[in-house]
Amino acid sequence: MRQEMIAVPEPTSPPRRRQPTAARWAADRFAALLGTARYPVGAKIAAVRAIRNECQVSDSTAYEALKLLEIDRRLTVQHGMRSVVLEPPASTPPAQAPDVAAEVRSAYAALGQALERLEAAEVIERQGEGES
């Protein structure tokens, strides 16, 4: 029984990156203002209101941006109190995104090697049938 080989296309371009959310955009934009004269380190601010006014976003987007800024350690947030502007973390490098294109190339290479081994095994099998 002969099986047909399926050609696997090579990747032509790297996969597209996801667009940042409105909250991530607002958090990044507001983070650029933190530590400046407008929002100095140690200042206590009404963060949701400040983000909403500076970035012209809704309250829910501003709240999500506030959570992202807290995760990024740019603000401390305590319920019922104003947020405090922190120093930007200097020792922590930004998280590296996985190199998806390299992973795809590696998977295609492994698949190509497996196909070559399969074809070689089929050739050996056919040669063995011819000798019998």
pLDDT in tens, 45-67: 888 899 999 899 999 999 999 99
pTM recorded for the entire structure: 0.53
Place of tokens 């991530």: 24
HEC secondary structure over 13-60: CCCCCCCCCHHHHHHHHHHCCECCCCECCCCEECHHHHHHHHHCCCHH
For helices 47-55 and 22-31, the axis angle rounded to 10 degrees is 100
Distances (CA, A) of 102 to 67, 98, 108, 116: 32, 9, 10, 21
Does domain 22-85 fall into CATH 2.40.50.140?
Answer: no
Average confidence (pLDDT) over 18-27? 85
